[in-house]
Amino acid sequence: MRSDAADRDASRPASNPLSDVGDAPLPREVRGFIVLLAMLQGLALWLLSTGSEQGWGWLAGLDGRVCWYTLVLSVPTAMALSVRRLDEARFWQHTALLTVVFLGLAWWAGHSVTGAPALQAQQVLAPFGASLAVALFIAVPYLQCRLQHGRWCAPYLDLFDHAWQNALTLLVMLAFTGICWLVLMLWAGLFKLIGIDWFADLFRQEPFVYLATGTFAGLGVLLGRSEKRPIQLMRRLLFATFTGLLPVLALVALLFVASLPFTGLQPLWATRSAAMVLMLLVAAMVLFTNAVYQDGRHPPPYPAWLRWLVSAGLASLPVFAVLAGYALWLRIAQYGWTAERLWAVVAAVILAAHAFGYAWAALWRGGAWLRRLEPVNVAVSLLAIALALAANSPVLDPHRLATASQVERLLSGVTKPADFDVDYLRFDAGRAGYRALVGLQSEQLVTTDTELSKRIERAIARQHRFDQFAGEDELRRTAVRDVAAARALIAVAGAAPPEDWWEALIAQKIPAGGCLQPGADCVVVMRDLDRDGVEDALLCDLGQEWAVGCQVHARRAGSWSEAASVMFHGPEMAVREALRRGEVTVRPRRWPDLEVAGQRSAVDAVGGDVPEPPPTTPSTPSTPEAEGPAG
């Protein structure tokens, strides 16, 4: 006997899987509005780029640029995807709502990424942009449904159709824009063949690039919204592909879960990517399942035994969600919170909600197959929007929470002072990290630890995250100007360099790398490196990450000049301590350079065969071999 729920499901009218909402053609004024809006968006982006370079008003500061770029990229895009009639009050209400919300979030992001020199903007703005783009993509179907039905609570069928329509419209827009630019390149190339460069020069002009790209994008959006049949065919192709792959993915998930009792969990924790791979499996299952279920108004595409396989695969998703969450928690318990880990937890929470919801839908025996996916998808989509908004606001600011975690671990003794990542707070945690680092200077733990205090002081004074990647002009602009300041930054290991070396360094006649930058941590060692009877200067920057870079200065014809550079890899702490003690050993190569027909080439010895040096100097601990000038 069939249940009442089954009777209700059976009474739902079956629809074409290619059905689409809003089949009425767009009015002419709306079509023109979409293209004009995209053209103006391109013009606005060009003005923002020009204003940023020339320092116009609010565009002179990074916080102002973040606000304007956020509004120009987000609001017009949502308008172009959702507009139905220009005289519709709800459409303009949505535009105002998006403007207010995104402006507030952009102001907070701009505030977080300013307030100190050399803060790494991408550490804040990259997750900000990505999360808001996802939130906007999820929110636009709700706005479209309100335009269509006059209420926020919309039928699942319409939400599903709008979401896929928007995704494919954006793909069409990208493809159309790329094709148009290929045509322009062909146009310019053809005329260059006959000596006419005017078109090539025009197409490279920045204003033309922005305006043309905006126009092409608008035409692409218009094409995606107007031509229903190509979009429907693209949906059919994608859905057919996902329908064929879902049982395979479900089988893979079941085999993985079945293998865990035999392999144990230790291999998972031994990798650094377990959480990511596990979450990718959940995300793929969610995507494929939605493509198979679609709007729930057509018969299941599988026979009963394949439906059982897919249902079993969906029922196993909580295992992946729990394992991914535990893998993240292990990293957090070991190293504390960072902004990246907090964003990973946000993604894990959303995918875990999907995993448990889909498992519930797969195990539910009342009604049509997977019917419970609909409330799960709606609830999780709203959760995703809420988390994205909270994480880009003071409510759940990742950098504030990460900073508090790292500082608390240091002050409680969980993190040793030698292991404390000063550079993370100084450069990668935004304004919150910088302020926390400044505040640490007054903590008793820091004031009583000379080495940690110096590290924090140097980090606060630094003007660049990576001095080796800063331009020469920028390094010259921020370098110290007198010998006394240089002596304070550069420690001397062993014999002191002559006075004229310091003067040449300050005059920037010889390269100093980042050693003349405020907060630098450098050491100079005097040695006769090329065995010409004259001591050379080995200037090493100990403040770099992953390696120690050194400059070799030699005296030639009575003046100092650049001779070579050398990098020390391996355990950086051991290299730094050895250089501070002046423990540098000169090791000549066994195989000298060879010269043939005026061309000189170094011999690449098999196994790096370098003989031990003769005992001409007191025994010193061995240091990693250096990639430097041949003796």
403 and 530 belong to one structural domain: no
Question: Is 411 within the bounds of a domain?
Answer: yes
457 and 487 belong to one structural domain: no
Residue 123 · residue 430 · CB < 8 Å = yes
Question: Is 389 within the bounds of a domain?
Answer: no
Q: State the pTM of this model.
A: 0.83
Question: Is 285 within the bounds of a domain?
Answer: no
- Backbone phi and psi for residue 608, each to the nearest 5 degrees, phi listed first: 60, 50
**pLDDT above 80: residue 11:** no
% of the chain with per-residue pLDDT over 90: 61
- Backbone phi and psi for residue 155, each to the nearest 5 degrees, phi listed first: -60, 145
Question: Is 128 within the bounds of a domain?
Answer: yes
Of 178, 165, 268, whose CA–CA distance to 226 is shortest? 165
Band (101; pLDDT cuts 50, 70, 90): very high
Band (400; pLDDT cuts 50, 70, 90): very high
The residue-averaged pLDDT of 320-326 equals 95
* The predicted structure's pLDDT at residue 586: 87
Beta-strand relationship, 599-601 and 536-541: unpaired
107 and 41 belong to one structural domain: yes
* The predicted structure's pLDDT at residue 200: 93
Question: Is 491 within the bounds of a domain?
Answer: yes
% of the chain with per-residue pLDDT over 70: 91
**Whole-number Å distance between alpha carbons of 453 and 437:** 10
491 and 456 belong to one structural domain: no
Band (19; pLDDT cuts 50, 70, 90): very low
Per-residue pLDDT tens for 421-435?
A: 998 999 999 999 999
Of 423, 424, 428, 460, whose CA–CA distance to 441 is shortest? 460
Domain final position from 184, 210, 226? 226
Residue 128 · residue 113 · CB < 8 Å = no
- Backbone phi and psi for residue 427, each to the nearest 5 degrees, phi listed first: -120, -30
Please, which residues have CB within 8 angstroms of residue 622's CB and are 6 or more apart in sequence?
A: 585
Please, which residues have CB within 8 angstroms of residue 121's CB and are 6 or more apart in sequence?
A: 62, 113
Q: Which residues pair with 567 in a beta bridge?
A: 549, 627
Q: Which of 59-63, 259-263, 474-478, 516-520 has the lowest mean pLDDT?
A: 474-478
Kindly state the helix (H) or strand (E) to which residue 257 belongs, with its residue range: helix 228-263
- Average pLDDT across the chain, whole number: 87
Residue 372, SS3? coil
Please, which residues have CB within 8 angstroms of residue 354's CB and are 6 or more apart in sequence?
A: 282, 286, 317, 376, 380
Per-residue pLDDT tens for 403-416?
A: 999 999 999 999 99
* The predicted structure's pLDDT at residue 629: 40
**pLDDT above 50: residue 10:** no
* The predicted structure's pLDDT at residue 15: 42
Question: Is 383 within the bounds of a domain?
Answer: no
- Backbone phi and psi for residue 299, each to the nearest 5 degrees, phi listed first: -65, 150
490 and 450 belong to one structural domain: no
Q: Which of 290-299, 472-481, 499-508, 602-611 has the lowest mean pLDDT?
A: 602-611
Per-residue pLDDT tens for 575-584?
A: 888 999 999 9
410 and 519 belong to one structural domain: no
Per-residue pLDDT tens for 298-309?
A: 788 889 899 999
Residue 169, SS3? helix
**CA separation (Å) from 208 to 130, 156, 211, 268, 374?**
27, 42, 5, 52, 46
Question: Is 592 within the bounds of a domain?
Answer: no
Band (235; pLDDT cuts 50, 70, 90): confident
Question: Is 249 within the bounds of a domain?
Answer: no
Domain that includes residue 164, residue range: 19-226
* The predicted structure's pLDDT at residue 57: 80
* The predicted structure's pLDDT at residue 8: 40
* The predicted structure's pLDDT at residue 65: 93
* The predicted structure's pLDDT at residue 592: 85
70 and 140 belong to one structural domain: yes
49 and 144 belong to one structural domain: yes
Residue 51 · residue 69 · CB < 8 Å = no
Domain final position from 558, 583, 608? 583
* The predicted structure's pLDDT at residue 470: 60
Per-residue pLDDT tens for 484-508?
A: 999 989 999 989 999 999 999 998 8
Q: Which of 620 and 312 is assigned the larger pLDDT? A: 312
When divided into structural domains, the chain yields a total of: 3
457 and 553 belong to one structural domain: no
441 and 488 belong to one structural domain: no
Domain final position from 461, 494, 512? 461
Name the residue type at position 439: G
**pLDDT above 70: residue 631:** no
**pLDDT above 70: residue 365:** yes
426 and 572 belong to one structural domain: no
205 and 89 belong to one structural domain: yes
**pLDDT above 80: residue 105:** yes
* The predicted structure's pLDDT at residue 231: 84
Per-residue pLDDT tens for 180-226?
A: 999 999 999 999 999 999 999 999 999 999 999 999 999 999 999 98
Band (569; pLDDT cuts 50, 70, 90): confident
Band (250; pLDDT cuts 50, 70, 90): very high
* The predicted structure's pLDDT at residue 197: 93
Per-residue pLDDT tens for 608-627?
A: 555 555 554 444 444 444 44
- Give the CB-side neighbour count of residue 167, counting CA atoms within 13 A: 14
Burial 42-53 (b: 16+ CB within 10 A, else e): bbbbbbbbebbe
* The predicted structure's pLDDT at residue 5: 40
**pLDDT above 50: residue 246:** yes
Band (165; pLDDT cuts 50, 70, 90): very high
